[in-house]
A and B are shown apart, each in its own frame.
Chain A
Amino acid sequence: GAGVSQSPSNKVTEKGKDVELRCDPISGHTALYWYRQSLGQGLEFLIYFQGNSAPDKSGLPSDRFSAERTGGSVSTLTIQRTQQEDSAVYLCASSLIAGGADTQYFGPGTRLTVL
């Protein structure tokens, strides 16, 4: 079946602009995660959605970052007033259920470059 898809695959923007990154999880997966991988770093947890529960936003680095998940499926990560330090690969993952023992399936990522 279809895996996790993300769009766009690459995004180049100017400092100060807003960007929106999209994630389509695997159908039927209730949990959705956003991560960020900066150059030379591991995957940094950003935000987590589980069903209709309030999302865990504890990993968002600043209030310029927000995310929503509509209808329990597609998710959008929005970065306002982008800064150069926001340049990274943004990865989305989904899992069938919530829980640390459930495998997360990753999308290919969106490479964001802020000039």
Chain B
Amino acid sequence: DQQVKQNSPSLSVQEGRISILNCDYTNSMFDYFLWYKKYPAEGPTFLISISSIKDKNEDGRFTVFLNKSAKHLSLHIVPSQPGDSAVYFCAASDSGTYKYIFGTGTRLKVLA
């Protein structure tokens, strides 16, 4: 039973355009969500997070949107840059616990 789903395994976007990565979850107890970025041969690095009390969090070119009623979150990258090419994982947590549940990742390729 996959509680966190990233249904698009890959995405290609032109440099300068917007990248939108999507994530769906099933557990209504999740109240904290994160995005991690992973380059080959490296561990995931934290990118941005959002608490369920908010519906948007912005950090530079990265914005995460949370739609609690739809149990859906998305990561927007604008403008996309070739250095953004990586695998992006979303993760969800019930902040009363310490476990993150990760999605399977979306490989983003930004074309120059």
Contact = CB atoms under 8 A, between A and B. Distances in A.
Contact of B4 (A42, A104, A106): A42
Contact of A41 (B31, B95, B96, B104): B104
B93 A106 contact: no
Contact of B95 (A33, A43, A56, A100): A100
A6 to B, nearest CB: 8
Contact of A101 (B32, B101, B105): B32
Nearest to A106: B43
B104 to A, nearest CB: 4
B49 A98 contact: no
Interface string B39-53: 001111110010100
A75 B49 CA distance: 27
Query: B interface, by DSSP: helix, strand, loop or mixed?
Result: loop
Contacts of A108: 41-43
A105 B46 contact: yes
B43 A45 contact: no
B92 to A, nearest CB: 9
How big is chain A's contact interface, by range? 20 to 34
A7 to B, nearest CB: 13
Contacts of A106: 36, 43-45
Nearest to A95: B98
A31 B98 contact: yes
B96 A100 contact: yes
Contacts of B46: 103-105
Nearest to A92: B43
Interface in B67-90: 89
Nearest to B43: A106
A57 to B, nearest CB: 13
A88 to B, nearest CB: 14
Interface of A: 4, 6, 9, 31, 33, 35, 40-45, 48, 50, 56, 91, 93, 98-109
